[in-house]
Amino acid sequence: MSSKETILTAEGLKKLEDELENLRSVKRHEVAERIKVAIGYGDISENSEYDDAKNEQAFIEGRILELEQMISTATVIDSASNKEGVVMLGSTVVVKDMEFGDEETYTIVGTTEADPSKNRISNESPVGAAILGQKVNSVVQVHTPAGELSYQILEVK
């Protein structure tokens, strides 16, 4: 397993810890019970309930290992320490599209927490990488699959 550093906000770390706890204390027991019931049906060689439960058990155990790895390599970012208005992980940034004048607000997070539908973009995404380290009023060029975009940073929170 890779020991790549996992960059998280405090909120993101809490979500992973909660998911891990739920898998260990609830889901593991639920699937063990399903396996026990399926074994009670008799011959497990052609028992779809047993096969389904064993597959779910394998998924849960894999996810537990994945979460343990992410949590053990987690670096929690603290955007509250940003006093200079520099875009960093954890920053919420208001940008203006220089071509169309549209304003967007993004929160820069690690890849684990990225959720573009909630405007939480990864520091490794084209926009995230381009604005990281920049200050208010900076204009950045963003190379995206859709082409070249130009953004002005209006605000860093």
Q: What is the pLDDT of residues 101-132, one digit of tens each?
A: 999 999 999 999 999 999 999 999 999 999 99
Q: Provide mean pLDDT across the span 72-86.
A: 81
Range in 69-73, 81-85, 105-109, 130-134 the model is least confident about: 81-85
pLDDT at 60 over 50: yes
> Does 71 share its domain with 95?
no
> Does 62 share its domain with 85?
no
Q: Provide mean pLDDT across the span 86-113.
A: 95
- Residue 1 falls within a domain, yes or no? no
Which of 76, 99, 119 marks a domain boundary? 76
**Domain encompassing residue 17:** 6-76
Cβ proximity of 108 and 132 under 8 Å? yes
Average pLDDT, the chain: 92
Task: Give the DSSP H or E segment for 142.
Answer: strand 139-144
> Does 21 share its domain with 65?
yes
Which of 49, 76, 103 marks a domain boundary? 76
Q: Kindly report the CA angle at 63 between 57 and 69, in degrees rounded to 5?
A: 140
d(CA 123, CA 24): 30
Task: Kindly list the distances between the CA atom of residue 146 and the CA atoms of 47, 103, 115, 149, in Å, as whole numbers in the listed order.
Answer: 49, 18, 19, 9
> Does 70 share its domain with 105?
no
> Does 55 share its domain with 115?
no
Could you tell me the two tokens for 77?
Answer: 């970012």
